[in-house]
Amino acid sequence: MDKVNILGIKVDRIGINDAADKIFSFLSGERCAKIFTPNSEIIMAGYKDKAFADILNSADLLTADGIGVVKAASLLKKPVPERAAGYDIACKLLEKTAKSDYSVFLFGGKPGVAEKAASEICKKYPGIKIAGTRNGYFKPEETPDIVSEINSSGAELLFVCLGAPKQEKWIHENAGKLTAKAALGVGGSLDVFAGTVQRAPDFYCKHGLEWFYRLMKEPRRAVRMTALPKFALTVLLRGRKFEQ
Ligand code: UDP
């Protein structure tokens, strides 16, 4: 597939609908496909850590989440069609899954969040089958039990919402043991489905200002957000050195 190499991370040049179609097609596959939606902070993390870059590049689908990544792709003369955020892809995918026999498992968030998200998703997408839920706070030694729980639910589609880079690492380490056919790392999406976190209003999303809205809502993000200007500068100075 057509990709743009942003600081060593090979991002698919794909929009929301096509990404959802592709993931839906994975559900009839033989193994668990890995889908990540990196923003500039995650791409910077991969730029600084080769092992993490390898995890990102091993994905079956890597979409551009965040205005920084969209702008970087344009700067490198390989634009992406649009921002393809994890939450938006998840919504499209739930729409399609609701009309099928496939079921979905929701993994992540604080205790109670995945259950609340499940009940809101059932209201919003009639016909959807939620095979199970599990909160995202666990000790590493509990992972085999979590994998068994997900497998015995029979879900084909798995949302892993542990925040980045935890969810990407978890999916990468466990994909070989999962019987689900697609695992998506979709960050805080369960909080949005559950209604515990509000998504930025359309105005902010349309003008590439979602980061600003989140900063106003969660000032603790300020430190994390210094990654955005660092990312922009690094792409400007070094971006063209990566082979396209
Ligand atoms: N989270 C989790 N387990 C953890 C850490 C975080 O389930 O060990 C959840 C957290 O409750 C939240 C989600 O991961 O629902 C995303 O967190 P955050 O907003 O920090 O990540 P982002 O979406 O910005 O990557």
What pLDDT shows up at residue 208? Answer: 81
> How much is the mean pLDDT over the chain?
95
Is the CB–ligand 1 distance for residue 162 below 6 Å?
Answer: yes
Residue whose CA is at the smallest distance from ligand 1 atom 19: 188
Ligand 1 pocket test: which of 161, 190, 196 has the largest number of ligand atoms within 8 Å of its C-beta?
A: 161
Mean pLDDT of 76-80: 96
What pLDDT shows up at residue 235? Answer: 95
What pLDDT shows up at residue 42? Answer: 95
- The 10s digit of each residue's pLDDT in 127-152 is 999 999 999 999 999 999 999 999 99
Helix (H) or strand (E) holding 34: strand 33-36
1 pLDDT more than 70: no
Residue whose CA is at the smallest distance from ligand 1 atom 11: 109
Ranges of each domain in the chain: 3-242
